[in-house]
Amino acid sequence: MANTGLLAGKRILVAGVTMDSSIGFAAAKVAQEQGATVLISNFGRALSITKRIAKRLPAEAPVLELDVTDPDHLAGLEAQVREHVDGLDGVVHSIAYGNPETLLGGKFLDGPWEDVAQAVQVSAYSLKSLAMAAKPLMTSGSGVVGLTFDATVAWPAYDWMGVAKAGLESCARYLARDLGPEGIRVNLVSAGPLRTLAAKAIPGFGDLEDMWSTRAPLGWDNTDQEPTAKAICALLSDFFPATTGEIIHVDGGFHAMGA
């Protein structure tokens, strides 16, 4: 890719890219357009899909196998990355999962602990897991960026995933505290509702989308991942050198409105 741009010369891992409608894919695309060398990851049955999707990026990105709940995968991440680049300047955590049949769509009071535990591990604890696995590859000035959906309030349909995102947001603050002395920044982007594969799996998600159409002062296009991807890339760039533990809202301004 070009040697000019906001991320020129930077090496970025985007973890959790499945479909080309995902925020992760959009982040990888914008990062490449801004001069970065990008690696992407997925695991299991989705890995073959990710390998096909990688060809749709401006430059085909190497695809790593990484299950953030598998200690062996985490331990092997450094070696996998070093097959392609000699270090990382940024990591994007685009990973979340909650069983839609038991945890979402109005099932909060009935959500079983086993499924809740999985949602918290995959969606929140894994930010720490991924950051620590990537830490040997990063130096001062590197950044970690995760994705959240405003966890300060209770939303229709979001249920236990909202609790998991609250955990993610707290996890990011503690990571920012503990990685800051080494010059590693940790921030989150809180996007409005986007019509991704993950969102479509949430029963009642349409109710959330409808709220944005009337209350976001800038308006909101739930099919456009690029504004969110640009914010991710900006946070990974050298233009936020003293920002960590922050949550940047990319939601058309919805979060600031009372009604």
Task: Tell me the pTM.
Answer: 0.96
Q: Does 31 fall in a domain? A: yes
The residue segments making up the domain with residue 161 are 11-250
Q: Does 219 fall in a domain? A: yes
Q: Does 238 fall in a domain? A: yes
**pLDDT over threshold 50, residue 111:** yes
Question: Per-residue pLDDT tens for 190-224?
Answer: 999 998 766 676 777 777 778 898 899 999 999 99
Question: Per-residue pLDDT tens for 26-61?
Answer: 999 999 999 999 999 999 999 999 999 999 999 999
Q: Any known ligand binding at 12?
A: no
Please name which of 89, 101, 73 lies closest in space to residue 142, comparing C-alpha atoms.
Answer: 89
- Give the CATH number for residue 245: 3.40.50.720
**pLDDT over threshold 80, residue 242:** yes
Question: Per-residue pLDDT tens for 56-95?
Answer: 999 999 999 999 999 999 999 999 999 999 999 999 999 9
Kindly state the average pLDDT of the residues 117-144: 98
Mean per-residue pLDDT over the chain, rounded: 95
Q: Any known ligand binding at 49?
A: no
Q: Any known ligand binding at 232?
A: no
| % of the chain at pLDDT higher than 70 | 97
Q: Any known ligand binding at 68?
A: yes
**pLDDT over threshold 90, residue 3:** no
CB 118 within 8 A of CB 97: yes
Q: Any known ligand binding at 140?
A: no
Kindly state the average pLDDT of the residues 126-146: 98
Q: Does 256 fall in a domain? A: no
Which range has the worst mean pLDDT, 156-160, 164-168, 226-230? 156-160
Q: Does 5 fall in a domain? A: no
Q: Does 259 fall in a domain? A: no
**Per-residue pLDDT, 155:** 92
Q: Any known ligand binding at 250?
A: no
Domain count within the chain: 1
Q: What is the 3-state secondary structure (H, E, C) of 15-71?
A: ECCCCCCCHHHHHHHHHHHCCCEEEEEECCCHHHHHHHHHHHCCCCCCEEECCCCCH
**pLDDT over threshold 50, residue 1:** no
Question: Per-residue pLDDT tens for 6-24?
Answer: 999 999 999 999 999 999 9
Q: Any known ligand binding at 67?
A: yes
Q: 203 or 155: whose pLDDT is higher?
A: 155
Q: Locate 151 and state its tokens.
A: 């966890």
